[in-house]
Amino acid sequence: MESKGWSVFFRRVCVAVFVLLLFFFVWGFGIEPARLVTRRADVSLPEASPLLDGLRIAVISDLHAGAPHIGLEKIDLVVRRINEENPDLILLLGDFLATDVLGGSEMAPEPVAARLGGLRAPAGVFAVLGNHDWWSGGDRIRGVLENAGIVVLENEFRPVPFRGQSFWLAGIADEKTRHPDVDRLIGAIPEGAPILAMTHNPDLFSRISARVALTLAGHTHGGQVWLPFIGRPIVPSRFGQRYALGHVVEKGRHLFVTTGIGTSMIPIRFGVPPEIAMVTIRVPGAPRRLNP
């Protein structure tokens, strides 16, 4: 009887493990990568210029168009969802095309850029390129994005009009495939001016000047997989979990990392849904505006 009891218990455990594995694969490969959530984040910047208070930024990264679940219809949905949010500023943080994902298909950058050209924000739409973009032909991708009305910044900066004044936006080149010139870039911006920085890979954050109010990045995909009691088994960063996602504060400097939309290498997401990040900057003590 005891042996029979253990046999029943063992079978039940095997069934439970099978069900859990089946759920993991169905959700991770079939359901979650096809989702799209809007993640809202208030980022408090105590030392920032009051000008930035209330600035609403739509942030997307790592489209990896051509990956499973990321066709032109999905890009149309991303554009529509962002425009419905009426952001002040839109930032696209690189890796527009898929180059290495299982089950993916090659997609030309022209139709991707044409769809993204439908994005609208009063302060503008800006982009940086990522490692996959340069592996796919970065000059071509930059050209089609610019033809679609998107400003691409590669170790460049621009003044951005906001509420009758301006802050500065710096676009830093990808660390993995290019030559980011952080010190020269930030040093060329007028002293005392409010600065936001955008780059593809958050590993650059360790080199960002304290003059920058907020750095925004992507690349990590949040690890693509988060498991209870285990966490994120793989994060593509030499800093491990340190810059995996969200708002990071180090020595008074601020970073926000979005987990992106597409997938790389393995077309799986589990516990890390594709996201549009709506980042609202809050500056404690700044005068409240009735109509920000």
Residues 14 and 58 in one domain: no
Asked whether residue 215 is domain-assigned, the answer is yes
**Phi-psi label, residue 94: left if phi above 0, alpha if psi -120 to 50, beta otherwise:** left
pLDDT tens for the chain, 292 residues long, are 456 666 766 677 776 666 777 666 777 788 899 999 999 999 999 999 999 999 999 999 999 999 999 999 999 999 999 999 999 999 999 999 988 888 888 899 999 999 999 999 999 999 999 999 999 899 999 999 999 999 999 999 999 999 999 999 999 999 999 999 999 999 999 999 999 999 999 999 999 999 999 999 999 999 999 988 888 998 999 999 999 999 999 999 999 999 999 999 899 999 999 999 999 999 998 776 654 4
Digit-coded pLDDT (tens) for 219-258? 999 999 998 888 899 899 999 999 999 999 999 999 999 9
Look up the domain containing 174 and give its range.
36-282
Asked if residue 100 and residue 60 are part of one domain, the reply reads yes
Regarding whether 239 and 110 lie in a shared domain, the answer is yes
Which residues have C-beta within 8 Å of that of residue 21, sequence separation ≥ 6?
none
Write the pLDDT tens digit of every residue in 96-129: 998 888 888 889 999 999 999 999 999 999 999 9
**Same domain? 197 vs 168:** yes
Model's pTM, two decimal places? 0.93
The tally of domains found in the chain comes to: 2
Is 137 part of a structural domain of the chain? yes
CATH of the domain at 155: 3.60.21.10
Q: Is residue 190 part of a domain?
A: yes
User: Is 290 within the bounds of a domain?
Assistant: no
**Is-contact 281 254, C-beta < 8 A?**
no
289 found inside a domain: no
Is 18 found in the same domain as 119?
A: no
Three-state DSSP class for residue 164? coil
Tokens linked to 119: 């994005």
Distance (Å) of CA 66 to CA 98, 101, 114, 272: 5, 9, 15, 19
> According to the 3-state scheme, what is the secondary structure of 226-274?
CECCCECCCCCCCCHHHHCCEEEEECCEEEEECCCCCCCCCCCCECCCC
Smallest CA-to-CA distance from 143 within 98, 112, 182, 185 is with 112
Q: Do 124 and 12 share a structural domain?
A: no
DSSP string over 58-99: EEE----BTBTT-SHHHHHHHHHHHHHH--SEEEE-S--B-S
